[in-house]
Amino acid sequence: MATDTAIHTEEFQVNMGPQHPSTHGVFRMVLTLDGERVVECEPHIGFLHRSMEKMAENRLYIQFLPMADRIDYLSSMFCSVAHCEAVEQLMEIEVPPRAKYLRTMFMELNRIASHCIFFGIFALDLGAVTPFLYGFRERELTMDLLEMTSGQRLTFNYVRFGGVAADLPESFFPAVEKFVKVFPARVTDYERILNENEIFLARTKGVGVVAAPRAVNYGWTGPNLRASGVDFDLRQNMPYEAYGELGYKPVVLSRGDCYERYLARLLEMRASHALIKKCVEGLPEGPTQKEKVSKFPKVPAGEVYVRVESPRGDYGLHLVSDGTDKPYRYKLRTPSFNNLSMIRELLRGVYLADIVPIFGSLDVILPDVDR
Amino acid sequence: MIIYPILSRLNEWWKGVVAAYGLPPEFVPAGQMVVNGVLIAGFIAALVLFLIWLTRKVSAHIQQRFGPMRVGWHGAVQTVADALKLVQKEDTTPRGCDRPVFNIAPFLAFAPTVVAFVVIPFGDGAIVRDLNIGVLFLFAVTTINVIAIIAGGWASGSKYSLLGGFRSAAQLVSYEVPLVLSALGVIMLAGSMRLGAIVDAQSRVWFVAYQPLAFVIYVIAATAEVNRTPFDIPEAEQELVAGFNVEYSGMKFAMFFLAEFANMFLVSAIAATLFLGGWRGPWLPGEFWFLGKSFAIVLLLMFFRWTYPRLRVDQLMTFAWKFLLPLAFLNLIITGLIVVLI
């Protein structure tokens, strides 16, 4: 009888999440591991499903406005801009130029805030604690600016049908000037602490590589797509608000690994900073709210699809109105959901320790996935 | 330091007690051991409390925070409050764990550290036992720590802690090799394994001047030995939640914590003794120099901890076996040649 002397390994299953420090909220993965290798990953989503789309159908347009902020709470300005733009397009309201600039500026500030969080969390996912606090330090500056104008720090509820809720206060201009002045040096700080760190590079370069065709097939958008080398940014390709006038050249990289997805966001921070500077300099005078727009509009029957370039990608809203004061259908195409869709394929065969940077580099936010 | 006169007076007093009551003479060393052990344990406890506070302050200032500020001067008694809280906590044992192993693992982690301090020369003559195999004893004793971590990870009955335990076993065993090899260079130069003799051999020039490569290897391997970032893979918070000690709470968790920080000081103390001339230094008492040098290394480890990300487990192994180990051997060969030729 032949004796089998080979050492056998046994696969075992580990449940990662929904309560886990690095699943960014309530994402759950059931991992089948062979030692440190991932054999199979079964993702579970829906722990944060709040039925946002259905709730929108049962509320007045203005009532859903503050709730729209909570669809993706890290980029709430984008959600409410999409909501208002959809209504405005159906009602054929032309927004005053000053309001357009204000919306654009605050969207870019919000983008910086969101990317600051990404920077901090991504480094934290790799075990570096200090960058996390660096990221939050700059996020604080943007939050202060947003708070000055909208009164809120996370879910701003600032955009209105036909304009914005409030004009800038006097104290805003010195504050934004200070921010514009210090921010590039702070991004240089970020670059210096991580970009040339051997350990950081070893952990992220060549990990989780996604080629351009694959990214497109999975419906990736935003920095993730541009890191894979696809030159597509709604701000450039389908400009809305003031982006057409300001002009924007997207950040496009080529390799599509974790490091480039991280780098794309870091470079976008600089690009956003340039946009904010342009917005402040070119801010037109005039009203911030179109006159005679009802706060409780009856939106004419019809349908519209609005796309906004959120920090996570292409945020799409398909709004169908039947002529009443409530939406008939409110369908969202959120970027996080599509960006997350590849996770099973991406994680197959990687090391257990690579799960966290790969998942983190997608910059997925769970309320955006589950709605 | 004031401890040593007290210690010797206590020892004398005990000798007197044994003689006065006609007890067998074996009681003299036994009693002295108890006194020494209690003193070392007390010293370690106080040291760890200070180290935890220091870590929090250092990390806070690196991260542009204040850290603990409320309890005492700049939060000086914060760790005492935390320790009291941990003592009060319910001692839970999770279902499905290997109860005896689970309970003994934290103490198994802490005990070797206490024992290792026995051979550390704190100052001129301030050493509990100057063993003639001091260095060997140190490395042999601290290795027991691995068993505690595997035992803790295994007995918890959780997959996360098991993974943490195995990772730790692989890591500690791998880095033990370059660690010991880097110390071998020093032993060759000093011609003795007695820590007192090694310190004496550095009376003129510190060994770090002769053995810079060994010093670097030692610091890297030591960082891995005590599971600090970038080598804190066994307790990788982001992947394994907390690694081998995820199921521990209350006082047992505190024991692991105590062992971790005591170990951090221990490896720094060894580095100071082997490479930086131990307690030797001008003007000030030896204890001052010894603690100063040790804390300099501790600070270095803390700076690593709060600056670097973590390596992946395969990168960690590659680094140990393909890079550190050949370097350590190279260093050993060169040292050997020089010792033979000169």
State which residue of chain A sits closest to B158, comparing Cα positions: A14
Which pLDDT score is estimated for B241? 64
d(CA B120, CA B124) in angstroms, rounded, equals 11
DSSP codes, A163-191: EES-PPPTTHHHHHHHHHHHHHHHHHHHI
B304–A contact, CB cutoff 8 A:
no
Residues of chain A with C-beta less than 8 angstroms from the C-beta of B306: 129-130
Enter the tokens of residue B106.
């934290």
Residue B238: closest CA among A329, A22, A214, A237: A22
> Is residue A90 a contact partner of residue A286, using CB atoms and an 8 Å limit?
no
**Between chains, do B239 and A137 touch, taking CB under 8 Å as contact?**
no
Enter the tokens of residue A94.
């032309």
Enter the tokens of residue B57.
């302050």
> Which residues share a beta bridge with A332?
A317
CA distance A287 to chain B (A): 41
Q: Is the pLDDT of residue A336 over 60?
A: yes
In A59-205, alpha helices (H): 61-68, 76-91, 97-125, 130-150, 172-190, 198-204
Taking residues B124-150, what's their average pLDDT?
Answer: 81
Name every residue whose Cβ is closer than 8 Å to that of residue B48 and which is 6 or more positions away in sequence: B257, B258, B261, B262, B265
User: What is the reported pTM?
Assistant: 0.81
B322–A contact, CB cutoff 8 A:
no
Q: Range with the lowest mean pLDDT among A90-94, A129-133, A161-165, B227-231?
A: B227-231
Residue A299: closest CA among A68, A51, A55, A85: A85
Which pLDDT score is estimated for B125? 67
**Between chains, do B239 and A356 touch, taking CB under 8 Å as contact?**
yes
- Kind and range of the H or E run holding A39: strand A37-44
Q: Give ipTM to 2 decimals.
A: 0.73
d(CA A346, CA A360) in angstroms, rounded, equals 12
Which pLDDT score is estimated for A255? 86
Residues of chain B with C-beta less than 8 angstroms from the C-beta of A201: none
CA distance A200 to chain B (A): 6
Residue type, B102: F
d(CA A145, CA A279) in angstroms, rounded, equals 14
d(CA A302, CA A320) in angstroms, rounded, equals 6
| C-alpha pair distances (Å), A84 with each of A68, A110, A148, A167 | 10, 17, 22, 17
CA distance A129 to chain B (A): 6
B200–A contact, CB cutoff 8 A:
no
Res. A4 pLDDT band, cuts 50 70 90: low
d(CA B247, CA B225) in angstroms, rounded, equals 22
Q: Is the pLDDT of residue A270 over 70?
A: yes
d(CA B143, CA B40) in angstroms, rounded, equals 19
3-state per-residue secondary structure call for A227-267: HCCCCCCHHHHCCCCCHHHHCCCCCCCCCCCHHHHHHHHHH
Which pLDDT score is estimated for B233? 66
Q: Is the pLDDT of residue A22 over 80?
A: no
d(CA A273, CA B289) in angstroms, rounded, equals 51
Measure CB to CB from residue A197 to each of B160, B308, B315 and give the nearest one: B308
CA distance B320 to chain A (A): 14
> Is residue A109 a contact partner of residue A318, using CB atoms and an 8 Å limit?
no
What is the number of other CB atoms lying within 10 angstroms of the CB of residue A82? Answer: 23
DSSP-based helix, strand, coil % in chain B, nearest 5 = 75, 0, 25
Q: Is the pLDDT of residue B242 over 80?
A: no
Q: Is the pLDDT of residue B4 over 70?
A: no
**Between chains, do B309 and A353 touch, taking CB under 8 Å as contact?**
no
d(CA B57, CA A188) in angstroms, rounded, equals 25
Share of chain B above pLDDT 90, in %: 0
Enter the tokens of residue A211.
């080629």
CA distance B119 to chain A (A): 35
CATH topology of domain A12-370: Cytochrome-c3 Hydrogenase; chain B (1.10.645)
Taking residues B168-173, what's their average pLDDT?
Answer: 82
> Is residue A34 a contact partner of residue A44, using CB atoms and an 8 Å limit?
no
Which pLDDT score is estimated for A2? 55
What is the number of other CB atoms lying within 10 angstroms of the CB of residue B21? Answer: 8
Which comes out higher in pLDDT, residue A112 or B311?
A: A112
d(CA A306, CA A301) in angstroms, rounded, equals 16
Residue A19: DSSP 8-state: S
**Between chains, do B239 and A133 touch, taking CB under 8 Å as contact?**
no
State which residue of chain A sits closest to B242, comparing Cα positions: A21
Which pLDDT score is estimated for B248? 80
3-state per-residue secondary structure call for B303-328: HHHCCCCCCCHHHHHHHHHHHHHHHH
Name every residue whose Cβ is closer than 8 Å to that of residue B214 and which is 6 or more positions away in sequence: B182, B183, B185, B186, B275, B328, B331, B335
What is the number of other CB atoms lying within 10 angstroms of the CB of residue B158? Answer: 21
- Provide the Cα torsion A103, A106, A107, A109; round to 10°: 160
Which pLDDT score is estimated for A298? 84
Q: What pLDDT digit, counting tens, does each position of A27-69 carry?
A: 888 888 887 788 888 888 888 888 888 888 888 888 888 888 8
**Between chains, do B313 and A193 touch, taking CB under 8 Å as contact?**
no
B98–A contact, CB cutoff 8 A:
no
d(CA A32, CA A39) in angstroms, rounded, equals 5
Name every residue whose Cβ is closer than 8 Å to that of residue B297 and which is 6 or more positions away in sequence: B219, B267, B268, B271, B272, B276
Mean pLDDT computed over every residue of chain A: 86
d(CA A328, CA A333) in angstroms, rounded, equals 17
Residues of chain B with C-beta less than 8 angstroms from the C-beta of A199: 230, 308-311
User: How many Cβ pairs closer than 8 A exist between chain A and B?
Assistant: 84
Positive or negative, the Cα torsion across A106, A109, A115, A116? negative
State which residue of chain B sits closest to A128, comparing Cα positions: B309
Residue A102: closest CA among A66, A150, A153, A70: A150
DSSP-based helix, strand, coil % in chain A, nearest 5 = 50, 15, 35
CA distance A16 to chain B (A): 9
- Kind and range of the H or E run holding A13: strand A12-16
Task: Parse chain A into domains and list their residue ranges.
Answer: 12-370
Q: Is the pLDDT of residue B321 over 80?
A: yes
CA distance A130 to chain B (A): 6
Which pLDDT score is estimated for B237? 61
Q: Range with the lowest mean pLDDT among A293-297, B215-219, B238-242?
A: B238-242
Res. B240 pLDDT band, cuts 50 70 90: low
Q: Is the pLDDT of residue B112 over 60?
A: yes
Q: What pLDDT digit, counting tens, does each position of A215-266 carry?
A: 889 888 888 888 888 888 888 888 888 888 887 888 888 888 888 889 899 8
Which pLDDT score is estimated for A171? 87
**Between chains, do A22 and B238 touch, taking CB under 8 Å as contact?**
yes
Measure CB to CB from residue A21 to each of B163, B167, B237 and give the nearest one: B237
Share of chain A above pLDDT 70, in %: 99
**Between chains, do A14 and B239 touch, taking CB under 8 Å as contact?**
no
Q: What pLDDT digit, counting tens, does each position of B288-307 carry?
A: 888 888 889 889 888 888 88
Q: Hey, of A10, A14, A30, A358, which one would you mutate to test binding to chain B, going by the most B CBs within 10 A of its CB?
A: A14
d(CA B168, CA B232) in angstroms, rounded, equals 9
**Between chains, do B308 and A128 touch, taking CB under 8 Å as contact?**
yes
| Angular region, B118: left φ>0, alpha ψ -120 to 50, beta rest | alpha
**Between chains, do B233 and A36 touch, taking CB under 8 Å as contact?**
no
Question: Using omega within 30 degrees of 0 as the cis cutoff, is the peptide bond preceding B100 cis?
Answer: no
What is the number of other CB atoms lying within 10 angstroms of the CB of residue A156? Answer: 23
What is the number of other CB atoms lying within 10 angstroms of the CB of residue B111? Answer: 18
Q: Range with the lowest mean pLDDT among A1-10, A315-324, B152-161?
A: A1-10
